[in-house]
Structure 1
Amino acid sequence: MSSDSSKFVYTVAIGVGVTLATGFSYWYYLQWKQRNTIPEKWRRIGTLEQINLYPIKSCAPLKLNPNTEITCDVLGLQINGCRDRALMVINDSNEMITARAYPRMVLIDTKLVGPQRLAFTAPGMDTIELDLSTLKKAEGEQVKMKVWDTSVNAGFVGGKYDKWMSKYLLQKESGMRLVYYPSENPVKAIRSRMLREPYILGADRGTFTDATSYMIINLASIAHLNTRTPRPVDPLQFRGSFHLKMDSDEPYAEDHWQWVKIGDQAIFRVVAPCTRCIFTNINVLTATRDPDSQPLSTLNKYRMFKDYASPSFGIHLGLRIAGKIKKDAVIYVEDK
């Protein structure tokens, strides 16, 4: 083959490659746009029965007035400087501590007792208060630790809070430390098992949350589950941000949704089913594990999805439009 012929073939090959690459990029863009374009039409499916903001990861939700308006922003639920899962307990090895290993954590209650003032209470413990505004101003020591397989920096809240947590969880003067999320943005990486989900974005990572900033539980699904388990399950055992009361009482309708709107402002993309672990077996009123590993053992029998290693219950949401919500707000899904 002559040199001119070789150049012609080479030029054609480059042109074909560029055309294919451009075509693939455009196809990918169209797919991305289709997945992320907010619907124009919505249909009502129920109302917001309960909002759960967990100031301390693995502990009880914040006690809220039913008329309280809550902000949904990129890091999660927020009210008066108190943010969902922006506080967390770690041990002296800088390892995340949860109720999976220390069930008594679910009995640690929190309540806002003033502007940016959070009170902690627990059985047998004196109440302790934290001025949340001081955390934003703190420039003290930070530590790099992990939420499962994702690294994130955390700031130390203070010695008296470490002592309080240690005394309650270990009956010792030390061993546990309370840390806070120091960033104003989601900075930790997407958890490895969520990377295959096509709809998740980097902004969905949240604070010290396991996977995403938001998760919704359909109370009709809880009611159906309770027909199959030997003892009733409290919805709080699933740690959802939102409890949905459906107009139709249809269980597992959430498996088929792509978009959710709460009230007039906040819009969410459904990014993944929420897979479940042994945390669901902990009674939130008694902090005891179910003797028969319920409800997880029941969920294993009928809520296993293809390519997922554990059963699914509820759905993860990624915020696409921020807004304010409150109890009894109407909940919508996309109207196809």
Structure 2
Amino acid sequence: MSSNLSTSLGLSNKTLIGVGVGLVAAGTAGYLVYRHLHRDLMPIKWRRVGTLQQIHIFPVKSCAPLKISDQQQEYDCDLLGIGIDSWRDRKFMLINDNNEMITARGYPHMVHIQPKQINNGLLFTAPGMPDLPLDFHHLQSPGKDGKDVRTAVWGVSLTVMLCGTQFDTWFSQFILKKDSGLKLVYYPYSVPVRTTLPDMKHMPFLRQTDSGTLNDATSYMLMNLASIADLNTRLKQPVEPLQFRGNFELKMDVDKPYAEDGWQWIRIGDDAVFRVVAPCTRCILPNINVNTAQRNVDGEPLKTLRSYRLFNYSSPALGIHLGLRRPGNVKANDVVYVEDE
């Protein structure tokens, strides 16, 4: 705009500069909004990166994965997490007499509690303990018989239901070596009800419905076996993938450690689509050997992970948290795809 025109309009040079800056800012903001929305659109094109080598359901938080005889079993993926009919991931949890969550972080031998699939229920086994069956038909909804209990998962409160005194006694005897002190509870809802963890609210693509059942953070987590293999080259004693307790273990066609750091979308098989919503930052749980239930005296693998996977987090990252964006069935050896850029 010429100086004569600006004078005729009664606009100073400072005003014109301000208007220009405002227009640029508005345009930039509009572009950022467009880019954000565009990045959250489900991809149309996909490229294959590998196959699912292993799928895990952990019915009881911090205990062993569900033992399934049929390796070709299909798993359904919905907002609550991965499951097979009524057998769901992290549907059960242990709390103490103060209704506080307990995990293998404090009681490593919890990883030796083995849930097995039986007709409409679970069979719990543990070293030195009698087998204990649980019938899903006996599980009730909130508000009945006063069996609901208020607890929390990492500070986020929710109501759960008690399973019964026989389960409290069994788990207390194995974990605490006494007849009481622990209670087995279960998640009674058909949808995710927990709010997002406070320290994850800054994640732009995380939704409240990604909270799942009684998971630490989100309803799904994937481990790239190439990343674990690379970690093992740095350790004196290699660790097993199961120590990271992921639902999905990915075997890449071409091993690329930490390739998952750059992925935004994942499709497994023909239908199930997931949004990568956060890196999985690690606590001390991977330091527990799943075979011996012993915690590594040198603090490994967490110590080594901290040396090169800390980034700007307080804990090192390995694996990725996923949020379901399209339900579907998955099974071992399904092809895994990521967005094709």
TM-score if structure 2 supplies the norm length?
Answer: 0.89
Q: Secondary structure at the match of 2:157?
A: strand
Counterpart CA distance in 2 for 1:43 and 1:134 is 45
Q: Secondary structure at the match of 2:304?
A: helix
AA aligned to 2:89 is D
Structure 1: segments with no counterpart, 5+ residues: 1-18
Query: Who is 2:199 aligned against?
Result: 193
- Contact 2:141–2:161, Cα closer than 8 Å, also in 1: no
1:269 aligned onto 2:275? yes
TM-score if structure 1 supplies the norm length?
Answer: 0.90
AA aligned to 2:309 is R
Aligned positions of 1:284-295 closer than 5 A: 284-295=290-301
| Candidates 54, 59, 62, aligned match of 2:58 | 54
Q: Secondary structure at the match of 1:254?
A: helix
Q: Structure 1 pair 25/149, CA: closer, same or farther in 2 (3 Å)?
A: farther
Query: Who is 1:173 aligned against?
Result: 179
AA aligned to 1:188 is R
Q: Write out per-residue CA displacement over residues 228-279 of structure 1, whole angstroms, 9 at most, x where no aligned residue.
A: 0110101011010100000001111101100000010100000011000111
Q: Write out per-residue CA displacement over residues 155-192 of structure 1, whole angstroms, 9 at most, x where no aligned residue.
A: 00111000000000111111000000111111111001
Aligned-pair distance for 1:96? 0.1
Counterpart CA distance in 1 for 2:258 and 2:116 is 32
1:78 aligned onto 2:83? yes
Q: Structure 1 pair 281/215, CA: closer, same or farther in 2 (3 Å)?
A: same
Counterpart CA distance in 2 for 1:252 and 1:27 is 30
Query: Who is 1:209 aligned against?
Result: 215
Q: Write out per-residue CA displacement over residues 173-219 of structure 1, whole angstroms, 9 at most, x where no aligned residue.
A: 11000000111111111001110111101110111101000000000
AA aligned to 1:151 is S
Query: Who is 1:63 aligned against?
Result: 67
Counterpart CA distance in 2 for 1:164 and 1:144 is 22
Counterpart CA distance in 1 for 2:116 and 2:309 is 35
Q: Write out per-residue CA displacement over residues 129-149 of structure 1, whole angstroms, 9 at most, x where no aligned residue.
A: 111232145723211111011
- Contact 1:206–1:213, Cα closer than 8 Å, also in 2: yes
Q: Secondary structure at the match of 1:255?
A: helix
Query: Who is 2:257 aligned against?
Result: 251
| Candidates 34, 40, 54, aligned match of 2:38 | 34
Counterpart CA distance in 2 for 1:24 and 1:151 is 39
Q: Write out per-residue CA displacement over residues 310-334 of structure 1, whole angstroms, 9 at most, x where no aligned residue.
A: 1000000000000000000000000
Query: Who is 2:6 aligned against?
Result: none
Aligned-pair distance for 1:109? 0.6
Query: Who is 1:303 aligned against?
Result: 309
| Candidates 305, 312, 320, aligned match of 1:315 | 320
Identity %: 52
Query: Who is 2:130 aligned against?
Result: 126
- Contact 1:81–1:133, Cα closer than 8 Å, also in 2: no
| Candidates 150, 161, 167, aligned match of 1:144 | 150
Larger Rg computed on CA atoms: 2
Counterpart CA distance in 1 for 2:29 and 2:132 is 55
Counterpart CA distance in 2 for 1:70 and 1:102 is 29
CA RMSD, 1 decimal: 1.8
Counterpart CA distance in 1 for 2:140 and 2:264 is 36
- Contact 2:141–2:188, Cα closer than 8 Å, also in 1: no
| Candidates 215, 229, 240, aligned match of 2:246 | 240
